[in-house]
Amino acid sequence: MTSHEPDEPDDGTGPTTTSAERLKAFTDAVVAIAMTVLILPLMESVTDAGAEGGGVASWFGEHAEQLMSFALSFVLIATFWLANHRVFARVERTSPMLLWLTIGWMFTIVWLPVPTAMLGSMETDDAQKLVYIGSLVLTSGMSLAIRWYLLRHPALHSVAELRLRRGILADVITTALFLVALALSVFVPAIGYWALLLLVLVSPVHTLLWRALGRGGRRSST
């Protein structure tokens, strides 16, 4: 029996690497749906308010928090998708491990509409902050795991090692800033979810740390 699969050193013993195209398309579909599903509680609250004779203006007054939580999660999922888009742009092959890491990452994205609904419809307490910001920590943690895995498996992609290292540093900083934001929102309740604005520090902290670690210098000397 001869193998019909010349492209691949397939010894018939199990799954090996496969093209990454379908994984990317699948990821896109899952993220697109998770982003759109965020709108459903708002649609439902409109229908409910309409059935009780409520008007548009009063609806906006009563659902300000839900609107904010929708916009916030929409932007966050878009940001996570952009990061995924960027790292996978030069990934050509997948392995079972990379597939599962990506599925784990998707799980945290598909889950996010639940904490978002909590933010929009429940009293803000520490448990809520832990669940919402904790979910974001998980997503950026999975992103970190994916980049780390790619760094260890250069055969799967053509991303420059330096770029991956910079990305890993960005993921570490993002995860750390989410944790700081969580602590801040819990210990300084007046700040609440505005603590997430700390995330604008990702880029400047990244620039500082990259230089401090001597990467920028080493790089420029090549």
Binders of a second copy among residues 78 to 137 (CB under 8 A) are 78, 81-82, 85-86, 89-90, 96, 99, 103, 106-107, 110-111, 113-114, 117-118, 120-123, 125, 127-128, 131
Q: What share of the chain is helix, strand, coil (3-state, %, to 5)?
A: 75, 5, 20
Q: Which stretch binds a second copy (CB under 8 A): 138-146, 153-161, 173-181, 189-197?
A: 153-161
Should residue 19 be labelled a site residue for a second copy when binding is judged by CB under 8 A? Answer: yes
| Residue with Cβ nearer a second copy (31 or 181) | 31
Q: Which residues contact 136 (CB under 8 A, 6 or more apart)?
A: 76, 112, 178
Q: Distance (Å, rounded) from C-alpha 214 to C-alpha 157?
A: 26
Kindly identify the residues of this chain, within the stretch 157-216, that bind a second copy according to CB under 8 A. Answer: 158-163, 166
- What phi and psi, each to the nearest 5 degrees, are found at residue 93? -125, 155
The string over 24-37, giving b where at least 16 C-beta atoms fall within 10 Å of a residue's C-beta and e elsewhere, is: beebeebbeebbee
Should residue 31 be labelled a site residue for a second copy when binding is judged by CB under 8 A? Answer: yes
Q: How many chain residues bind a second copy (CB under 8 A)?
A: 85
Return the residue of 22, 68, 152, 192 that touches a second copy, per CB under 8 A. 22
Shortest reach from residue 48's CB to a second copy, in Å:
9
Q: Is 207 helix (H, G, I), strand (E, B) or coil?
A: helix
Q: Which stretch binds a second copy (CB under 8 A): 31-39, 139-147, 177-185, 191-199?
A: 31-39
Strand partners, 94: 18
